[in-house]
Structure 1
Amino acid sequence: MTSYGLLNGVLMVLLLLRNAAPVLDFAWYPNATSRDPASFCFVTSVRECPVKLLDASDGRLRASYKIVDHRERQVAPHSLAFNPLASKLYCGFEDAIEVFDVHVPGEGTRLRTTPSKKSRDGLKGIISTLAFSPDISSGLYAAGSLNPSSSTSSNIAIFSESTGEVPVMFVGDDHQDGFGIRSSCTQVMFNPFRPYLLYACFRRHDTIYCWDLRGDLGSPIQTFSRSGEANVKRNVIETNQKMHFDVDLGGNWLAIGDEHGDVSMFDLSSPDADNVEEVVLPPRRDISPTLKYHAHDDTIGSVAFHPLRALLLSASGSRHFESTLASTSDSSENEESDVEGNEDVVDSELVQQERQLGVKKRRAKLQPAVVDNSVKLWDFGENSSTALPQ
């Protein structure tokens, strides 16, 4: 994991932490800042390891929170989220959410999102994303699952801290009019300024969906298409990689990248995107990007707005096996041609023996090729429109 910082408008690496296994998710402590050393920390989930609370200044371990399954194995959650008061840490994994007291390391309280694996009720599958409502008094948070929505239930649910594991409501469960997102939910997020609006994106889907929690939750009130086309429900993204979006602190802009290295920005304050006065069943609106530009030469896995400045951070990187596969196939064809050309020279008995024993030549293991794994900082201030790549 790498921690970045700004120094005179330039993006710099502040801390580099290496882990023994892949990082599944991480989350900053709410309102973390280097000016307050106590709050300058974050939690990270590493495969087959406890959840670790790390100091962002030097990387030292502050606390650890362990999740153990019925086989006494360490479980690493796929999603992490602090509640608005920063007193609880919520960790999502298969069919459950573990809740920890931040100030009491150790074991937590397990909330079952479904009664059992055979049951059709509740939220089933790996809880891949968690997001709390900015409205502290509501105590609501959204959870999304990697299991695609079925004909009987949705893969997005709203929970309350006061009610525990019983879902308050499900989102996007209207299948009567043909709507139903049969795909894994990769991210959910509330609008910071209008907490009744919930956004969600799905794996291999071009569109971001928005629901109004004050009205009908069966169908979305807004859809944001990166391709700029209406009714793109059937448009499929080629990669399975997760692509996270972000909404700025004022709730006016939504940004997301795509597999082509383009960043799409949607104006949430425009008349087409603002449904504040229309509470009951507003018409569904397909919104196109206000701004779209080429940022990287590879898939953009994540974007993030600066909380106080007009800056956008974008990170790219993906695994590519095409070039390696082509070179490997060429080399294997050359090896086979060499063998065929030398069959007359090699002892025929040795060749027959190898064929009988099923001896096969070793082939090089396919390794992913790097196209563009970079981080860029985009300045959208009035006097600047440049990018600072790192």
Structure 2
Amino acid sequence: MEDVASYTWVPPEYDLSRPPSQSASWKVPSPTLPGNFARSAKWCPDGSAALAQCEHREFRLLNPLGEDETTFNPHTFAQPAPILDYAWYPTASVTSPATFCFVASVRETPVKLLDASDGRLRASYRIVDHRERQIAPHSLAFNLSATRLYCGFEDAIEVFDVAQPGEGTRLHTTPSKKNRDGLKGIISALAFSPSYESDLYSAGSLSPTEGGNIAVFSETGGAVPVSFVSGGPAAGVTQLHFNPAQPHILYAAFRRRSEIFSWDLRDTTAPLKIYTPPSANDRETNQKRRFDVDLAGRFLALGDQEGRVSVFDLAAEENTPRLTYTAHSDALGSVSFHPTKPTLLSVSGSRHFHTDEDEESSSEDGEDEEDDQGQSGKAAVIRRSVARPTPVPLDASIRVWDFGPAGSGVVE
């Protein structure tokens, strides 16, 4: 009989006593797309690949063949319109071609189930409104058994049978005569409890309400919420995440807020804890920043507008970060813990408008010439450049950070 202990999963050990070392780096922009950058990136469930959502309507698959992380071999999957959300299939792995896929919400198109190896369409799921218009959801989530796909959009959640592409079942989330409890506005975030003993999932709305804009639903309960969480800020919800090791703990991020709020679903009357990064009082934008919790449920990581990563110890009494370090020189869009290694994936980039000095100089010369003509008896005409400035990120990179014992500080 083989040793049973050899099959026991041991979570990776993170050394937070010093900044991590950089084990890989990849630049997103290209000569043809200088303003491109990754908005977010997620490891697939077994960590054999990562998928990045980019500004210029495309996905980038990183490390698709499972080679060493220092030799990224990105594949690009262009989309016809802006990408709203995406989610890995729950058992996706490079080693299993049948499961290596993800769903994507692209504006004004059906939800797509795409093969992650080459981007080909495997299936599509249509959401149509009362005007026969194609609706793209703002949030996507598979249930724990991967049999159903949940899609959040304005005032409703559409539920699809993954094995039967086509149309789904609509759950109206707004209050009605039969059900006064509900969520108004765009359902912007969805997350399922990681417990197989539960069929609960949470949904958040972009529209703040007096009773709260985060509700807990049951798969068997339909559109009637099980409960609401209260005490959060009056702001739109941008992300929800359950603790993988403690399924009763729910975390939430909000628009234009740096803090991460947490609730114990056994008592939803007030937040359990609020995790505050060092830049909580700095200026905030509408840019979404995705946080993450490691698979063992011990650490929470998030980025800020200045390109710093803060890592919180969830078992600690205090709500300040255990470690903060500079990872990028631009706004940090998302972080993602590797499921089996002590590494963290981070992406950066945001829109910065810079005035072209050559255009300014040319415009000023033209104005001087027109002024001279005006002095000689002709009407003075001032012409200004109408060229639209192109936004360019300060740092559009994807990086992998090693928190293992062998780390020796940040490598630039």
TM-score category (smaller protein): 0.7 to 0.9
Structure 2 residue ranges without an equivalent (≥5): 1-58
Q: Structure 2 CA distance, aligned partners of 1:326 and 1:97?
A: 49
Partner of 2:273: 222
Decide whether the 8 Å contact of 1:324 with 1:368 is kept in 2. Answer: no
Kept after mapping to 1: 8 A contact 2:330/2:393: no
RMSD: 2.5
Query: Identity rate of aligned residues, in percent?
Result: 53
Superposition map of 1:62-141 within 5 A: 62-115=122-175, 121-141=181-201
Cα distance in structure 2, aligned partners of 1:386 and 1:109: 51
One-letter identity of the residue aligned with 1:221: L
Partner of 2:244: 192
The structure 2 residue matched to 1:56, chosen from 84, 106, 116, is 116
Q: Is the 8 A contact 1:379 1:386 kept in 2?
A: no
Amino acid at match of 1:261: G
Q: Which residue of 294, 303, 313 corresponds with 2:345?
A: 313
Task: Check the 8 A contact 2:258/2:284 in 1, yes or no.
Answer: no
Instruction: Please give the residue correspondences for 1:116-265 in structure 2 after superposition, counting only pairs within 5 Å.
Output: 121-148=181-208, 150=209, 152-172=210-230, 174=231, 180-215=232-267, 217-227=268-278, 235=281, 237-265=283-311
1:8/1:133 Cα in 2 relative to 1: closer, same or farther (>3 Å)?
A: same
Tell me the equivalent position of 1:298: 330
Q: CA deviation at 1:219?
A: 1.3
Residues 204/138 of structure 1: CA separation in 2 closer, same or farther (3 Å cut): same
Q: Structure 1 residues 331, 225: closer, same or farther in 2, change over 3 A?
A: farther
**TM (normalized to structure 1)?**
0.84
Q: Is 1:382 paired with 2:409?
A: no
**How far apart, in 2, do the equivalents of 1:76 and 1:346 lie?**
60
Encode CA deviations 1:36-91: one digit per residue, 9 max, x unaligned: 11111000111111111011111111000111111111111111100000000001
User: What is the CA-CA distance between 1:386 and the residue it aligns to?
Assistant: 5.8
Amino acid paired to 1:158: V
**C-alpha distance in 2 between matches for 1:11 and 1:165:** 47
Q: In 2, distance between residues paired with 1:153 and 1:46?
A: 31
Over 3 Å counting, the alpha-carbon distance change for 1:303 and 1:360 in structure 2 is same
TM-superposed CA distance for 1:324, in Å, is: 2.9
Deviation string, structure 1 residues 125-169 (Cα, Å, up to 9, x no partner): 111110000012210111111112x3x321111111011111111
Which residue identity lines up with residue 70 of structure 1 in the other structure? Answer: H
Distance of aligned partners of 1:331 and 1:57 in 2 relative to their CA distance in 1, 3 Å threshold: same
How many equivalent pairs are there? 351
Residue in structure 2 matched with residue 33 of structure 1 by the alignment: 93
Q: Within 2, Cα distance between the matches of 1:328 and 1:154?
A: 50
Cα–Cα, structure 1 residues 315 and 158, in superposed 2: closer, same or farther, change >3 Å? same
Q: What's 2:41 paired with?
A: none
The aligned amino acid for 1:164 is: G
| TM-score relative to the length of structure 2 | 0.79
The 1:346/1:26 distance shift into structure 2, 3 A limit, reads: farther
Number of the residue aligned with 2:392: 369
Amino acid at match of 1:194: Q
1:282 is matched with: none
Aligned residue type for 1:211: W
Return closer, same or farther for 1:346/1:370 CA change in 2, 3 Å cut-off: farther
Structure 1 counterpart of 2:106 = 46
Pair 1:331–1:113, CA change in 2 (3 A)? farther
Q: Deviations for 1:325-351, whole angstroms, at most 9, x for unmatched residues?
A: 888777656654543343234744xx6
